[in-house]
Amino acid sequence: MTENSITTPVGILLLTHGRLGEALLECARHVMCGQIPEQLAILSAGQDEPVDDVENRARQLLLTLDQGAGVLVLTDLLGATPARVATRLIEPGRVEALSGVSLPMLLRAINYRAKPLADVAKKALLAGTECTLAMTADVPR
């Protein structure tokens, strides 16, 4: 691959409860001055919506999001419907999933999406832990 070659970016699916995915995307858009990638989609799991229905909609989105580099699924609460669906979608090397999505995780996934899927997942996961800190009044203002 030459230095000027274009790599296919990893797709990102925000699979969350209610409007959390929309809120995270709007915050990311604000932080990134409107620069949000095309291969990013939001799927909200409705209250009491059957898991199979959510899974079917998610699989349809994966078809459009995966341009050859795979898809990272970011979900909110481990054990709930979005995370259960995400678990069903996992195909190592093609579809990876992380729970506990946060704005730092999403931003890291967006910023590193030109890397291989495993690296994007690792960077996003690290953001979830590295950016979670107890703040004190000693932080410079």
Segment 68-91, tens digit of pLDDT:
999 999 999 998 999 999 999 999
pLDDT in tens, 103-125: 999 999 999 999 999 999 999 99
Report the chain's mean pLDDT, rounded to a whole number. 91
Return the higher-pLDDT residue of 3 and 27: 27
For 122, the 3-state DSSP assignment is helix
> In Å, what is the CA distance from 116 to each residue of 26, 44, 76, 119?
25, 26, 23, 5
Least reliable range by pLDDT among 11-15, 29-33, 120-124, 133-137: 133-137
pLDDT at position 2 is: 40
Task: Give the global pTM.
Answer: 0.90
Fold assignment, 11-128? Rossmann fold (3.40.50)
**Which residues pair with residue 43 across a beta bridge?**
15
pLDDT at position 137 is: 81
